[in-house]
A and B are shown apart, each in its own frame.
Chain A
Amino acid sequence: MLIRLISGLISQDAPRSRVLTALLLAVLAALLAAPFLLPGTRPLNVAAKVAVFIVLVASYDLLLGYTGIVSFAHTMFFGIGGYGVGIAAAKWGTGWGPLAAGVALAVALAIALALVIGLLSLRVRAIFFAMITLAVASFFQILASQWSAFTGGEDGINFKLPAVFSPGNRLLETPLLGADINGRTLAYYVVVLGALALFLALLRIVNSPFGRVLQAIRENEFRAEALGYRTVVYRSVANGIAAVGAAAAGVLYALWLRYTGPATTLSFDIMIDILLMAVIGGMGTLYGAVLGAAIFVVAQNYLQDLMKLASGALEGWPLLPALLHPDRWLLWLGVLFIVCVYYFPNGIVGKLRRG
């Protein structure tokens, strides 16, 4: 009975590997228990970021892994979500009304832009599409950082949320299991549960007939067309769904940070990070996004400390300190990324499933 319930929740897309299931459950447990397991602002920030990026990367995997499209505009939609919340809060004040309006507008804009880009560019070859998304995303980034009156420019927008989310709002007078339960905790659970819901929704979508058509198109576009599926339409819809996913992730992230700005959402570095997470975790699996995001964000925050230690210890050696310098962690991830593209196209998840 319970098995059936869980199976339904994950849309019958089972992990198919004991190790993978264990890892996924571990991530889920860690996220749900974070306020109690790891008190302090930094661990909680890391956990919230993991949750947000799981959704961001999973929605990207829908495009990359399931539909076979490379787009560089994903961070643009991430930013649209964040800015929707930020601008609404800045212009219309804190409150549930403005918040809802901001989210709705962000989602609407994301869908509209995605469909426009999709219909215009998906008629062309993959190369064109990739470059055009790159150009559009960089245009958007320029727009956001230049249009200071509206978007806060380079500095972004700091804003307040409804009072219920504020740290001062003590939900429980005494700490529970060693942690203060206040508005921030509430915000955290909104983010994590929201991310979980979005992830399960994406699972449902890729395992639906629609999702199967996407995979057919990825495998052999001509055949899909011959079978009667208008590939341009399917690809555009996939684009739209991915955009909404990214925007939703953006909304969650803005809610957590109480801030939105070009550096946290629109930067090309983030786009690269998404790509790395998706490929290393495993393209076309969605669970790859969970592992990829978890490993990446945790490593980004804690591995760099390790690298600093190692780099210091190797002081005096010719190249090694520079290679192990914490700022160079992207080098190693880049190498891992390339290795994955060649040898492990389904990333960690693929390796676990085969093993």
Chain B
Amino acid sequence: MSAVMQGNEGAGAAAVPANRFDWRPLAILAAIMLGAAPFIGSLPTWVTLTVAGLAMGMMIFIMASGLTLVFGLMDVLNFAHGAFISVGAYAGVSVLIALKVSLLATGADSTLWSNLAALVPALLAAMAASGALGWFFERVVIRPVYGDHLKQILVTMGGLIVCEQLIDVLWGPDQIPVPVPWTLTGAFTFGDIAVERYRVFAVVVGAAVFLALWLILSRTRLGLLIRAGVENREMVESLGYRIRRLFVGVFVAGSALAGLGGMMWGMYQGSVTPPMGMQVLVVVFIVVIIGGLGSVGGCFVGALLAGLLANYTGYVLPKLALGSNILLMVLVLLWRPRGLYPVGKA
């Protein structure tokens, strides 16, 4: 790169606005974490709930990140995202079950490496299956109705229903227990405090996904294109980029992420059921709205908020817990009607 073009890197992911970093949503996140402590009372419980909340939030983030990018970039509402979540979960779990049988990878006498040997292919299978489904959907289902929001909602809703039914046909309607690799079960203990291993794993994976997305968006030309495209598609085309190809790529990546999230969610819950994608879709939508359409950073903060709130209220005000996400959405929208980190649309 020429001398002139170098200079401080603007840290500008559309997610994390450069030049004057908007710390307020993060401050709120921290405030909630600290503020919940007195209501909870005991430190061990607080730690358990916080880790659970963060883990849940991370998984929701993984599932929602693809949706927010697709929304922001392509202005496409895809209800079938729930199907990507379910299909990914089922594909990954199937691989995990198959490998368990052949590799004894999840028994108590397995090692970390044998567990990973089972887990990594399963996660990859989940991403591949939902990525492929996503590619199919973009080409066949959604492309004919670009620009028509009404039809998009209807058609993707239909796709979601059909997919759920097909899962019923192929795997049966009953819930399938997930053989979670042994090294991920159980908990780390520090005196009174117990931290479940799987939750730590979820936090690590979620943070890794966020970091990867952030780096791609802020440091690569591809990321530049995506950020610009979210703001103004026409202008990006006028500059000579075939944005259609970008669309397909982002859509498939988003679907793959949904599959990964779905698989992680399935392992977290211990079982997978055909309607699981549809059930978690409401939370995913809420998080996408809270974060701001097209904002990966907003989605991240929003997801963590949702996860933490669900766990804290589950302990402190159980009656409120199921509705906590919706209340969160109302509160956030009252404060910032376009989401925590709105992405400007030219």
Is there any pair of Cβ atoms, one from A and one from B, under 8 angstroms apart in the complex? yes
Closest to A130 in B: B153
Partner of A272, one of B161, B289, B329: B161
Chain B residue numbers with a CB within 8 Å of A128 are: 289
Closest to B75 in A: A127
Known contacts A135-B286, A337-B158; A142 and B165 CB within 8 A of each other: no
Decide: A330 and B161 in contact? CB cutoff 8 A. Answer: yes
A89-131 interface bits toward B, Cβ cutoff 8 Å, 1 = contact, 0 = none: 0000000000000000000000000000000000001111011
Q: A70 in the interface, Cβ–Cβ < 8 Å?
A: yes
CA separation between A275 and B288, bound complex, in Å?
Answer: 24
- Closest approach, in angstroms, between the C-beta of B276 and any C-beta of chain A? 14
Partner of A341, one of B71, B155, B168: B155
B267-288 interface bits toward A, Cβ cutoff 8 Å, 1 = contact, 0 = none: 0000000000010001001101
Q: B162 in the interface, Cβ–Cβ < 8 Å?
A: yes
Chain B residue numbers with a CB within 8 Å of A272 are: 157, 161
Q: B150 in the interface, Cβ–Cβ < 8 Å?
A: yes
Chain B residue numbers with a CB within 8 Å of A11 are: none
Q: A176 in the interface, Cβ–Cβ < 8 Å?
A: no
Known contacts A142-B323, A331-B166; A279 and B154 CB within 8 A of each other: yes
CA separation between A5 and B161, bound complex, in Å?
Answer: 44
- Closest approach, in angstroms, between the C-beta of A340 and any C-beta of chain B? 9
CA separation between A130 and B282, bound complex, in Å?
Answer: 11
Known contacts A127-B149, A128-B289, A338-B159; A70 and B154 CB within 8 A of each other: yes
Known contacts A136-B326, A139-B323, A328-B168; A341 and B151 CB within 8 A of each other: yes
- Closest approach, in angstroms, between the C-beta of B169 and any C-beta of chain A? 4
A130-157 interface bits toward B, Cβ cutoff 8 Å, 1 = contact, 0 = none: 1110111011001100100000000000
Chain B residue numbers with a CB within 8 Å of A328 are: 165, 168-169
A67-106 interface bits toward B, Cβ cutoff 8 Å, 1 = contact, 0 = none: 0101000000000000000000000000000000000000
Closest to B162 in A: A334
Interface size class of B (residues with CB under 8 A): 20 to 34
Known contacts A142-B322, A323-B169, A327-B173; A275 and B285 CB within 8 A of each other: no
Closest to A339 in B: B158
Partner of A127, one of B71, B151, B282, B329: B71
Q: B77 in the interface, Cβ–Cβ < 8 Å?
A: yes
- Closest approach, in angstroms, between the C-beta of B73 and any C-beta of chain A? 14
Interface members, chain B 299-346 (any A CB < 8 Å): 319, 322-323, 325-326, 329
- Closest approach, in angstroms, between the C-beta of A352 and any C-beta of chain B? 21
Q: A335 in the interface, Cβ–Cβ < 8 Å?
A: yes
Closest to B289 in A: A131
Q: A322 in the interface, Cβ–Cβ < 8 Å?
A: yes
CA separation between A325 and B169, bound complex, in Å?
Answer: 9
Decide: A341 and B154 in contact? CB cutoff 8 A. Answer: yes
Q: B121 in the interface, Cβ–Cβ < 8 Å?
A: no
Chain A residue numbers with a CB within 8 Å of B157 are: 272, 275
Q: B144 in the interface, Cβ–Cβ < 8 Å?
A: yes
Residue among B144, B154, B166 facing the most chain A CB atoms (10 A cut-off): B154
Closest to A141 in B: B322
Chain B residue numbers with a CB within 8 Å of A132 are: 289, 329
- Closest approach, in angstroms, between the C-beta of B317 and any C-beta of chain A? 12
CA separation between A141 and B289, bound complex, in Å?
Answer: 21
Q: A319 in the interface, Cβ–Cβ < 8 Å?
A: yes
Chain B residue numbers with a CB within 8 Å of A64 are: 150
A46-68 interface bits toward B, Cβ cutoff 8 Å, 1 = contact, 0 = none: 00000000000000000010001
Decide: B71 and A338 in contact? CB cutoff 8 A. Answer: no
Closest to B326 in A: A139
Closest to A320 in B: B169
Chain A residue numbers with a CB within 8 Å of B319 are: 146
B196-236 interface bits toward A, Cβ cutoff 8 Å, 1 = contact, 0 = none: 00000000000000000000000000000000000000000
Decide: B150 and A70 in contact? CB cutoff 8 A. Answer: yes
B238-275 interface bits toward A, Cβ cutoff 8 Å, 1 = contact, 0 = none: 00000000000000000000000000000000000000
Decide: A135 and B165 in contact? CB cutoff 8 A. Answer: no
CA separation between A329 and B150, bound complex, in Å?
Answer: 25
CA separation between A342 and B144, bound complex, in Å?
Answer: 8
CA separation between A185 and B335, bound complex, in Å?
Answer: 54
- Closest approach, in angstroms, between the C-beta of A186 and any C-beta of chain B? 38
Decide: A130 and B77 in contact? CB cutoff 8 A. Answer: yes
Chain B residue numbers with a CB within 8 Å of A143 are: 323
Decide: B154 and A275 in contact? CB cutoff 8 A. Answer: yes
- Closest approach, in angstroms, between the C-beta of A318 and any C-beta of chain B? 11
Closest to A124 in B: B337
Interface members, chain B 143-178 (any A CB < 8 Å): 144-145, 149-151, 153-155, 157-159, 161-162, 165-166, 168-170, 173
Known contacts A68-B150, A331-B169; A127 and B323 CB within 8 A of each other: no
Decide: A331 and B282 in contact? CB cutoff 8 A. Answer: no
- Closest approach, in angstroms, between the C-beta of A345 and any C-beta of chain B? 8
Chain B residue numbers with a CB within 8 Å of A131 are: 285-286, 288-289
25 contacts between A and B (CB under 8 A): A64-B150, A70-B154, A126-B153, A127-B77, A127-B149, A131-B288, A132-B329, A134-B285, A135-B282, A135-B325, A135-B329, A142-B322, A272-B157, A319-B169, A327-B168, A328-B165, A328-B168, A331-B161, A331-B166, A331-B168, A331-B169, A334-B162, A341-B145, A341-B151, A345-B151
* Besides the known contacts A126-B150, A135-B329, 18 further A-B residue pairs in the complex with CB atoms under 8 A apart: A125-B149, A126-B149, A127-B153, A135-B282, A135-B285, A142-B323, A272-B157, A272-B161, A319-B169, A323-B169, A328-B165, A328-B169, A331-B166, A331-B169, A335-B162, A337-B154, A338-B159, A341-B145
Residues of B within 8 A of A (CB): 71, 77, 141, 144-145, 149-151, 153-155, 157-159, 161-162, 165-166, 168-170, 173, 278, 282, 285-286, 288-289, 319, 322-323, 325-326, 329
> Top 6 closest A-B pairs, CB basis?
A331-B165, A334-B161, A338-B158, A334-B162, A139-B326, A142-B322
